[in-house]
Amino acid sequence: MSEDRADKLHPVVQLAPNHKVGLALRNPAMPAAGCFGLGTEYAHMVDVETLGAIVVGPVTAKPRRGANPPRTVPVPGGVLLHTGLANPGVATVVRRYARRWARSPVPVIVHVAGTSPDEAAACCQRLSGVEAVSGIELGLPDTASGSAGSTDVDLLDDAVAVIQAARADTSQPLIVQLPLDSAPALCEAAVEAGADALTVAAPPRGTAWYASAGRFVTGRLYGPFILPLALRVLRQVAELVRVPLVGCGGIHNVEDATAFLQAGATAVQVSGGLWHDPACLARIARSLPPPAASQ
Amino acid sequence: MLQTDVLVKDVSESSPFVRVTFSAPHLARTLVAGRFVLADLGDYLRTPLFPAWSDVGGFDTLVPPDHPAADLRSGDSVNLIGPLGQGFEVPTTARRLLLVASTARLPVLLPLARQRNQGFGKNPGFSVALLLSAPTAAELYPIRLLPPALEVHVATTDGSAGHPGSALDLFPNLVRWADCICIAPLHSKDPATYPAIAEIVREVRVGPGRGFAQALVVPPMACGVGACQGCAVPVARGTKLACTDGPVFDLLELQ
């Protein structure tokens, strides 16, 4: 798609207005991290040229085998997924995919699993010089490192440490993906620690009984029922910070995406909806009203 | 792979299954035994459908009466993603093919049972045997509906037809005979019998080559293309994904 044609379809969306390079998108719609693989999996089914960007990953500093099966449990109206961040590690990912990303018609944003400051720093260092990577999306730990006895203060401290570590080691625009249940509490500190934009929010966690394996599985939840939860949190965050917000959670059609834009999001990410109906992503991208007009 | 709306051409009873015929010429050549499509049948997770038969016009799938596809009607439109995955690969040199399945999973293997006179089925002296299990004779797939040239060995749990007890009792002799084995789960809900089957293969055959025994594993799948990493299957060195690396795996590689 030529720039002229794209710009006629939608005004440019800017996700990092205060960054020296910025992160300009031709469209507010993109896939969510963890749902689009590393950028090649949906090559034959999703018209990437219609999108604002692709979000690939998550990646970690070292290879991770991921969680033992079962990883996928159907739940009423959706699905619970526990992958354990399976990925070949940031170095291998860059080696295998950077050339392909360089040919992408839209910006590539790499999602870094910020499970600790060291993890975030190691990933960002490796990605920092990669021209094909237009931005970093940083996932945060959604439980504090002290686990059972931890407080909200611990969670805040951990999140800030991870963001600061990433910020110190990346030259690219930094989008911080906030956990759903602590997004309002973390958003201001995230911006202060260096976030150029915020994704609201990471899929919430739940637990399901997997009968045929005879055990509980705890993982992230996907489905339309997430939308009202995420929309509520996004409106709260929009009242607290003045950086671009990326709405994410339960988006399955253009009405869902438009609701996030109306609530204050600059852009939107489609997560589980992509698995259910891969065509919905391009359909949403083609149908979204220009962000300026929707607010 | 593609995401397409296809037409249901026909739905008919084919006891103990319901036969659903899809008009999908674009899938005819590529939807081979063990490969699948993910169908949007109303649930959030798409439903995997395996071909029991395919020709230039499309494919048939056989599903139990309580399967969501059994509610389809002729003329319905269904959104499919596929073809997906890696199917059974019978070596071109194979002459003695053994199929192993419960009645519930037999439809996945039916395209191989009908392979005679096509592909590897053209080999001189080629023969196919089927080891079929069911809880009772009443729940067995009707033998008269199987290709006449197929050699069928039956086991029922209650002994009402064929060998009384486990199909695994008949397995060692058939493994000695076969030069390729394709297995769908003997129990319909999970491949819990695979370790026992693998053990028999190791005992009976000396150094069976890669692909000698191939087994179907179908965990719940979210995306079908490897993007979500949700359908991991434990193998000898880590995990593989059922949707892209499988759902047909080397039996001896499975953990």
Interface test with A, best of B2, B41, B45, B46 (most A CBs within 10 A): B45
pLDDT in tens, A140-199: 987 655 455 566 778 899 999 999 999 999 999 999 999 999 999 999 999 999 999 999
Whole-angstrom CA distances from A121 to A165, B8, B33, B127 are 5, 53, 47, 60
Q: Which member of B46, B189, B232 has the closest CB to residue A66? A: B232
Residue B211 structure tokens: 């692909």
Q: What CA–CA distance (Å, rounded) separates B16 from A74?
A: 27
ipTM, two decimals, is 0.91
Contact B190, A214 (CB under 8 A): no
Q: How far B84 CA sits from the closest chain A CA (Å)?
A: 12
pLDDT in tens, B59-70: 999 999 999 999
For residue A74, is it within any domain? no
pLDDT of residue B31: 93
Domain residues for the domain of A169 are 3-66+85-204+223-294
Task: Kindly report the backbone phi and psi dihedral angles of residue A152, in degrees, each rounded to the nearest multiple of 5, phi listed first.
Answer: -60, -30
More confident residue, B149 or A218: A218
Residue A140 structure tokens: 């945060």
Q: Which helix (H) or strand (E) holds B80?
A: strand B77-84
For residue B215, is it within any domain? no
Are B52 and B122 in the same domain? no
Q: What percent of chain B has pLDDT over 90?
A: 75
pLDDT in tens, A207-253: 999 988 889 999 999 999 999 999 999 999 999 999 999 999 999 99
Are B40 and B114 in the same domain? no
Least confident of A49-63, A163-177, B78-92, B110-124: B110-124
Are B73 and B131 in the same domain? no
For residue B244, is it within any domain? no
Domain end, chosen from B64, B84, B104, is at: B84
For residue B71, is it within any domain? yes
For residue B75, is it within any domain? yes
Closest chain B residue to the Cα of A65, Cα to Cα: B238
Q: Which member of B44, B45, B219 has the closest CB to residue A70? A: B219
Which residues of chain A neighbour B238 with C-beta distances below 8 Å?
A: 65
Are B131 and B44 in the same domain? no
For residue A145, is it within any domain? yes
Structural domains counted in chain A: 1
For residue B214, is it within any domain? no
Are B76 and B123 in the same domain? no
Are B78 and B103 in the same domain? no
Least confident of A22-26, A43-47, A207-211, B203-207: B203-207
Are B165 and B118 in the same domain? yes
For residue A256, is it within any domain? yes
Domain of residue B33, CATH code: 2.40.30.10
Q: Which member of A69, A222, A279 has the closest CB to residue B233? A: A69
**Spatial CB neighbours of A133, under 8 Å, sequence gap ≥ 6:** A98, A101, A108, A109, A110, A127, A172
Q: How far A160 CA sits from the closest chain B CA (Å)?
A: 28
pLDDT band, residue A3 (cuts 50/70/90)? very low
- B247: preceding bond cis by omega (within 30 degrees): yes
Contact A185, A45 (CB under 8 A): no
Q: What percent of chain B has pLDDT over 70?
A: 93
B239-249 mean pLDDT: 96
pLDDT band, residue B114 (cuts 50/70/90)? confident
Q: How far B223 CA sits from the closest chain A CA (Å)?
A: 4
Are B64 and B104 in the same domain? no
Task: Say if residue B176's pLDDT is above 80.
Answer: yes
pLDDT in tens, A94-133: 999 999 999 999 999 999 999 999 999 999 999 998 999 9
For residue A71, is it within any domain? no
pLDDT of residue A149: 59
β-pair type (A174-179, A197-202): parallel
Q: Is A40 exposed, middle or buried (0-12, 13-18, 19+ CB in 10 A)?
A: middle
Q: Which helix (H) or strand (E) holds A204?
A: none
Q: From start to end of chain A, where are the E strands?
A: 13-14, 24-25, 29-31, 54-59, 72-75, 78-81, 108-113, 133-139, 174-179, 197-202, 205-210, 215-222, 245-248, 267-270
Domain of residue B169, CATH code: 3.40.50.80
Does B40 sit within 8 Å of A78, measured CB to CB?
A: no
Q: Is B42 on the interface with A (CB under 8 A)?
A: no
pLDDT of residue B187: 57
For residue B254, is it within any domain? no
Whole-angstrom CA distances from B151 to A31, A102, B205 are 51, 56, 21
User: In which residue are the tokens 């005879």 written?
Assistant: A214
Ramachandran region, residue B159 (left: φ > 0; alpha: ψ -120 to 50; beta: rest): left
Domain of residue A167, CATH code: 3.20.20.70
Q: The pTM is what?
A: 0.93
Residue A249 structure tokens: 């959670």
For residue B183, is it within any domain? yes
Q: What CA–CA distance (Å, rounded) separates A84 from B21?
A: 39
pLDDT of residue A274: 96
Which residues of chain B neighbour A41 with C-beta distances below 8 Å?
A: 223, 225-227
For residue B250, is it within any domain? no
User: Rounded mean pLDDT of chain B?
Assistant: 91
Are B79 and B165 in the same domain? no
Domain residues for the domain of B160 are 96-209
pLDDT of residue B122: 66
Task: Kindly report the backbone phi and psi dihedral angles of residue B23, in degrees, each rounded to the nearest multiple of 5, phi listed first.
Answer: -90, 100
Which residues of chain A neighbour B81 with C-beta distances below 8 Å?
A: 45, 278
Task: Say if residue A293's pLDDT is above 50.
Answer: no
Domain end, chosen from B57, B84, B111, is at: B84
For residue A15, is it within any domain? yes
Instruction: Give the count of beta carbons closer than 10 Å to the beta carbon of residue A150.
Output: 14
**Spatial CB neighbours of B193, under 8 Å, sequence gap ≥ 6:** B168, B185, B186, B187
B101-114 mean pLDDT: 92
For residue A97, is it within any domain? yes
More confident residue, A116 or A3: A116
Q: Which of A61, A7, A55, A52 is nearest to A29 (CA)?
A: A52
Report the SS3 class of residue B9. Answer: strand
B88-107 mean pLDDT: 92
Q: What CA–CA distance (Å, rounded) separates A178 from A234?
A: 10
Domain end, chosen from B63, B84, B105, is at: B84
Helices (H), chain B: 106-113, 171-177, 194-204
Structural domains counted in chain B: 2
Are B160 and B138 in the same domain? yes
pLDDT of residue B125: 75
Are B6 and B61 in the same domain? yes
pLDDT band, residue A7 (cuts 50/70/90)? very low
Does B222 sit within 8 Å of A72, measured CB to CB?
A: yes
For residue A73, is it within any domain? no
Are B189 and B127 in the same domain? yes
pLDDT in tens, B200-242: 999 998 888 888 999 999 999 999 999 999 999 999 888 999 9
